[in-house]
A = this chain, B = another copy of it.
Amino acid sequence: MNKHIAPIPLEKSYRLLNIGPTILVSARHDGVDNVMAAAWACALDYAPSRLTVVLGKTAKTRELIEKSGRFVIQIPTVAQLQLTYQVGNRSLFKEPDKLKLSGVELFGIDGHDLPFVAGCSGWLACKLIPEPRNQETYDLFIGEITGAWSDTRVFKEGHWNFENADPALRSLHYVAGGHFYAIGEPLLVAEVQEED
């Protein structure tokens, strides 16, 4: 594993998603790995740490998740703009070489039989919480986060640190039609209160 990657406490892992980044979803089943891009992923709970992700019925990655009950949500970077767009637009059904053609390199993390995408800024290993009605009616999947890691150059001690890192490590925020934004400048409220 890359020397910059370190685990995040699960109760802080929602902060990877809090800024609303476009994400990559990856899954493995029966020797097949796939990766897709999605803009529709969101934190759902702190403890237990949970998230939601919307997966269309035509996605091969959805099939792998339904069969294996496991997936990874990871945060791609500005350096991965083309890769993110490619995995969001190519289909493994049509192109068996999709991952290679898109420039995806996978790596493993001990104890998790899942394909992690190299070069991202954060990773959330998830176990599917089966909710058949949500999955069928809304294409909505709920995952429980079982492991979380970040690239410590850009996320550590529970906070993103984009302003002091290489701009190529910033998160991507998709609009439509190949049009994204990078995350921008930090803002701190004048007077922080206790949350109620």
B residues less than 8 Å from A192 (CB atoms): 85, 177-178
Binds B, one of A2-10, A36-44, A66-74, A110-118: A36-44
Type the 1/0 row for A167-196, where 1 means its CB is closer than 8 Å to any CB of B: 000101111111111111111111011111
B residues less than 8 Å from A170 (CB atoms): 184
The answer to whether the Cβ of A121 comes within 8 Å of any Cβ in the partner chain is no
Distance in angstroms from A90 CB to nearest chain B CB is: 8
| CA of A88 to CA of B88, assembled, Å | 34
Number of interface residues of A (CB under 8 A): 61
Q: Which of A129-186 contact B (CB under 8 A)?
A: 133-134, 138-140, 142, 158-160, 162, 170, 172-186
B residues less than 8 Å from A19 (CB atoms): 20, 173-175, 181
Type the 1/0 row for A29-52, where 1 means its CB is closer than 8 Å to any CB of B: 000000000011111110000101
A184 touches B185 (CB 8 A): yes
The answer to whether the Cβ of A26 comes within 8 Å of any Cβ in the partner chain is no
Q: Which of A94-122 contact B (CB under 8 A)?
A: 94
Distance in angstroms from A96 CB to nearest chain B CB is: 15
Given contact pairs A19-B20, A176-B159, A183 touches B186 in the complex (Cβ within 8 A): no
The answer to whether the Cβ of A127 comes within 8 Å of any Cβ in the partner chain is no
Which residues in A have some Cβ–Cβ distance to B below 8 Å? 15, 18-22, 39-45, 50, 52, 54, 58, 78, 81-82, 85, 88-91, 94, 133-134, 138-140, 142, 158-160, 162, 170, 172-190, 192-196
Those 6 A-B pairs whose CB atoms lie nearest each other, nearest first = A20-B20, A184-B184, A42-B42, A178-B192, A19-B173, A178-B189
